[in-house]
Amino acid sequence: MTNAEKLGGAFTLPGTKFTIKRMGYGAMQLAGTHVWGPPKDRAQAVAVLQEALESGVDHIDTSDFYGPHVTNQIIREALHPYPDHLVIVTKVGAVRGDDASWNPAHSPAELTKAVHDNLRNLGVEALDVVNLRVWGEIHKPGKESIEPQFTALAELQRQGLIRHLGISNATAAQIEEARAIAPVVCVQNHYNVAHREDDTLVDDLAAKGIAYVPFFPLGGFTPLQSTELSDVAASLGYTPMQVALAWLLHRSPNILLIPGTSSPGHLRENLAAAELALSSKALEQLNSISVSAA
């Protein structure tokens, strides 16, 4: 079995040279508690990133407002100079307050500053992919127009500071609004086996060849809990979280995963989920999980 097969196969972001394995890595948990400040063990954070790449991961999701600045600086320490095959996806649209609060930062000046912060802390001349994080509830997008924000990012793309654009926490209407301004290569929304409000959107994006990247694939700050999930996991000899990741890989070929961890053992568990084949019976049980189970 090749590395790509072990990590769920591969997917090419539309209109790009980036063909990446479907099992990636989310860097949010490399920062301290509540994604604030430095980690308790910086050496371990560096080691986790290095092991991820050694295991075949070639897609890292990050943001300079994680920490803030902390996560990107750890990525640079661990992996710079970056291998040619590595794709680093970041996001802009928020800032952290002195009290660790999460606040919108959507003006053209704020977005431009955020892009330059990412460039500086990652140590690159251009960012592979930048997602605009649409402001709203943590699990649910707002409905305002994103035309001014996406236009500002498209201008930075024209300047050569960004290679490709994506959008996060967005409605179908906002995605189409963005696509009218510049190509969208990926969408990052809240989605998992027990939270499937985006089912139609996943299929629509698959038909367009656009990647769908679920955030909180394991429930986020409230881990997934479901009798069906636990029963399937027990029958297969895997953990419930591994089964939840495997379900996402089975759900649609355009789904790319970015589970995060600061633990080497947990990293290995996440990556092993890509090798889990789910039977039609297991899928039927998992598909019966109601959204209220989240």
Residues labelled as active-site residues: 66
Q: Do 62 and 88 touch, CB atoms closer than 8 A?
A: yes
Can you list the positions of beta strands (E) in the chain?
10-12, 19-21, 25-26, 59-61, 87-92, 94-96, 102-104, 127-133, 136-137, 140-141, 162-168, 184-190, 211-215
Helix H or strand E encompassing 148: helix 147-158
Q: Do 91 and 168 touch, CB atoms closer than 8 A?
A: yes
Token pair belonging to 218: 């394991």
Q: Do 128 and 58 touch, CB atoms closer than 8 A?
A: no
Residue 113 CB: number of other CB atoms within 10 A?
15
